[in-house]
Chain A
Amino acid sequence: MAEDFEVEFIEREDRKARFLVRGMTPAVANGIRRAMVADVPTFSVDTVRFVENSSVMFDEMIGLRLGLVPLTTPLDDFEEGDVVTLALDVEGPATAYSGDIESSDELVQPAELNVPIIELKEGQRLQLEADAVLGSGKAHAKHQGGVAVGYRHLHRVEVVGDANEFEEQEPNILRGVIEEAAAEHAADESAEDGALVPTSEFDNDLTKRYPGKDVEVHDVPGAFVFHVETDGSFTVEELVRRAVESISDRAAELEEKVAI
């Protein structure tokens, strides 16, 4: 298991990425996935003190909405349990947006400025003070930094023969990423053996990629395609790095305690 990994990005943005990892066991892949969801902490509003709330929503409902607003979390500067105070004061007629939230710490700001919290009518007012706590997804889903984190095996598609030419071909749906193994049969002329092709390039339909052919799909052993999105608290790279680090830290702790 301690062999070398090979990582290759298929798609990469700040908040969304897809990458292929080779040489990994399912146990490790799942460990990293779970750590990304539940063990990497993010800031999230936890306690709210209402000064005035004459809006149409109850305090609790506003509290819930505030909790779900992602806050930027520079993990180098904080540790779990740290608290940052936020304030919000909006008078109607207006809509209170997440961008109106004022933070006592420059590093912890709403990651999204355009989320409506509550629409206020004439004479209504929302004034509150909130404590954002750095907690992990294990305690509450609002602390999850990763959104829709998952992985699939890398697929290898083999052309095994010709389809029955007198029959209409049924769609053969496959999602994920394929490793091109039959470039000469592909509809796309620039196809090359060994290239990684997201199935969305051919409408997730193998009959469009290999028209008139019978195909077999195999999983490539030890090759996982991760799909990672974050809620804006940090970048995808940060999330992956922290998740792996959290597993490593626990292994180090175990090694140390076993030695005694």
Chain B
Amino acid sequence: MELRVIDKTDEELRLEIAGEDHTFMNVIKGALLETSGVAAATYDVNPEQSGGQTDPILSVKTEPGTDPLDALADASRRVQDLSTNFTSAFEAAL
């Protein structure tokens, strides 16, 4: 996972996350949308055949007072919590 910041303002972030695909990007996007202070979040991956940019680009827009990088860290935290919760629920059901 290589990160490259393309655009960054107080309320907007465009970030390239190299080496990831829909598996993780869609999960993190979903988590971002449920994070407080996030106004909009999406990601874009071009197919390999397009010849240009193929690594996913994550775009986050936040409400005033929230740093998009902090929001992203919150969302990552959220995904980890959710994984822990799922694993324990799964193990309890075994």
Q: Provided the pairs A240-B90, A247-B24, A251-B28 are in contact, do residues A258 and B73 lie with their beta carbons within 8 angstroms?
A: yes
Which of B30, B69, B84, B90 meets A258, CB within 8 Å? B69
Q: Is the interface of B mostly helix, strand, loop or mixed?
A: helix
Interface set, chain B 42-61, CB cutoff 8 A to A: none
Interface set, chain B 7-33, CB cutoff 8 A to A: 17, 20-24, 26-31
Evaluate contact between B87 and A247: CB separation under 8 angstroms: no
Interface set, chain A 32-53, CB cutoff 8 A to B: 32, 34-35, 38-39
Which of B1, B17, B26, B87 meets A244, CB within 8 Å? B87
CB of A122 within 8 Å of the partner chain: no
In the assembled complex, the Cα of A2 lies from the Cα of B24 at a distance in Å of 16
Evaluate contact between A4 and B89: CB separation under 8 angstroms: yes
B56 to chain A, nearest CB (A): 12
Evaluate contact between B82 and A28: CB separation under 8 angstroms: yes
Closest residue of B by beta carbon distance from A37: B23
Stretch of A6-14, A145-153, A162-170 with 4 or more beta carbons under 8 angstroms from chain B: A6-14
Query: Could you list which residues of chain A lie within 8 angstroms of chain B, going by C-beta atoms?
Result: 1-9, 19, 21, 24-25, 27-28, 30-32, 34-35, 38-39, 138, 237, 240-241, 244-245, 247-248, 250-255, 257-259
